[in-house]
Amino acid sequence: MKYYTSTTEFNCGIDLHARQMYACVMDRQGKKLVHTNIKGNDFSYFLKRVAPYRHDLTVVSECTFNWYWLADACFDANIKFVLAHALYLKHIHGGKNKNDRIDSEKLAHLLRANLIPPSYIYPSERRPVRALLRQRMSYVWERATLQTHLSMNQTAEGLVPARKGGHNRDAWEERILEQYSNPLHKFAASCDMNMIRAYDVQIEQLEAEIVRQAKRDLGRDYHLLLSVPGIGRVLAMTLLFEVDTITRFPTVKDFLSYCRLVKGSVASAGKVKGLTGGKMGNAYLRWTFGQAAVIAKRNHALLTPYAEKLVAKRGKFKGNAILANKIARSVYFMLQNGMAFDAERLIATSI
């Protein structure tokens, strides 16, 4: 676990919520200088309260869903901001009582004691594109739910689900409606199909815009990733905008850990008690490399037999996980060195 080293005389812990935030300012000796609840997240009022200490101040807040605005406001005010990793903090601070006042004070204490595990502050100028990518993924999952709903409704009526037939929604709808005799069943199926068509349009528009942004800002890396078997346009875009910059990972081990492709261990007295940390990291990157591994092994001259050996020796689940790990390693060095994918280097390791 890495910790942030505070260099300022004053440190401020903020327990942030949607409609209020509790702030606690301390000096290096742990003396509380400001400890107040700020209604409505009024940042102007916050600046007034910390004005005497603003010249040498660091602010820390947990990585909650609404941290973006606070980080941007601190940067605009020329105040150092640290984003604390919420899951790691869970293992650091605790107590018999817990409330906003206590949490803000503990955050300030941890910051001045250099015990804050930092999380990455994603650049504000690239957050909108990443948000579009996640929005597209949400639409894809919701569309898949509707498609499954159509098939399950047919099965519930004792029918064989109609063949989808690719992206021809009209033909698929005709095959579904032919099976139903009840007009209400037909009406329900048509409603689902209309929603699916609406998602088709929005997904296509989102994807076109994201690809345009990826080619404009990250053209080299985008085309490098397309050379990896199993990685197409969508997975390449997901990697680029979830990683942001590969240079923020000092080693390949840091990158694999962030991608949830390795787990930590719990040990005591020299004995390993179990594994932990499986959900620490980026879930989108874990999904991306998992998908890439499944697709890459389908029809590749080198990766297919290699994957078959992995599955035969380690089982399907673990074999896929190992292949995903190796693809992630390859991607790390590809982006670091600007080199295209080399399947022979990937498989030149023991199984």
- Asked whether residue 4 is domain-assigned, the answer is no
Mean pLDDT of 248-275: 86
Do the Cβ atoms of 62 and 84 come closer than 8 Å?
yes
Number of domains observed in the structure of the chain: 3
**Is the pLDDT reported for residue 94 higher than 70?**
no
pLDDT in tens, 295-305: 999 989 999 99
**Is the pLDDT reported for residue 104 higher than 60?**
yes
Assess whether 245 and 340 both reside in one domain: yes
Q: What percent of the chain has pLDDT over 70?
A: 98
Assess whether 157 and 73 both reside in one domain: no
Please say which residue of 217, 235, 265 terminates a domain.
Answer: 217
Query: What pLDDT score does 93 carry?
Result: 66
Assess whether 273 and 342 both reside in one domain: yes
Query: What pLDDT score does 266 carry?
Result: 79
**Is the pLDDT reported for residue 349 higher than 80?**
no
Please say which residue of 62, 77, 112 terminates a domain.
Answer: 112
More confident residue, 276 or 107: 107
- Asked whether residue 17 is domain-assigned, the answer is yes
Assess whether 164 and 51 both reside in one domain: no
More confident residue, 111 or 275: 111
pLDDT in tens, 165-195: 778 899 999 999 999 999 999 999 999 999 9
**Is the pLDDT reported for residue 4 higher than 90?**
yes
Q: Which residue has the tokens 């709808």?
A: 173
- Asked whether residue 117 is domain-assigned, the answer is no
- Asked whether residue 58 is domain-assigned, the answer is yes
Assess whether 198 and 231 both reside in one domain: no
Alpha helices, H only, the chain: 43-49, 68-76, 86-90, 100-112, 127-156, 169-179, 183-217, 219-225, 233-243, 252-258, 283-296, 303-314, 316-337, 343-347
- Asked whether residue 45 is domain-assigned, the answer is yes
- The domain in which residue 147 lies consists of 127-217
Query: What pLDDT score does 185 carry?
Result: 96
**Is the pLDDT reported for residue 351 higher than 80?**
no
Query: What pLDDT score does 252 carry?
Result: 95
**Is the pLDDT reported for residue 334 higher than 80?**
yes
pLDDT in tens, 209-246: 999 998 888 888 999 999 999 999 999 999 999 999 99
Q: Which residue has the tokens 């787990």?
A: 263
- Asked whether residue 2 is domain-assigned, the answer is no
User: How high does pLDDT run on average in the chain?
Assistant: 92
Mean pLDDT of 316-328: 93
Assess whether 61 and 91 both reside in one domain: yes
**Is the pLDDT reported for residue 44 higher than 80?**
yes
Assess whether 334 and 283 both reside in one domain: yes
Assess whether 198 and 265 both reside in one domain: no
Q: Which residue has the tokens 């930092």?
A: 118
Query: What pLDDT score does 87 carry?
Result: 84
Distance CA 155, CA 76 (A): 57
Handedness of CA 312, 284, 213, 204 (dihedral sign): positive
Query: What pLDDT score does 243 carry?
Result: 95
Please say which residue of 202, 217, 232 terminates a domain.
Answer: 217
Query: What pLDDT score does 311 carry?
Result: 92
Q: Quick one: pLDDT band at residue 92, thresholds 50, 70, 90? A: low
**Is the pLDDT reported for residue 350 higher than 70?**
no
Say how many CA atoms lie within 13 Å of 307 toward its Cβ: 25
pLDDT in tens, 114-129: 999 999 999 999 999 9
CATH number at residue 60: 3.30.420.10
Q: Which residue has the tokens 């007034």?
A: 48
**Which H helix or E strand runs over 219?**
helix 219-225
Q: What percent of the chain has pLDDT over 90?
A: 82
Query: What pLDDT score does 166 carry?
Result: 78
**Is the pLDDT reported for residue 135 higher than 70?**
yes
Do the Cβ atoms of 325 and 262 come closer than 8 Å?
yes
Assess whether 137 and 105 both reside in one domain: no
- Asked whether residue 100 is domain-assigned, the answer is yes
**Is the pLDDT reported for residue 279 higher than 80?**
no
Assess whether 246 and 321 both reside in one domain: yes
- Asked whether residue 118 is domain-assigned, the answer is no
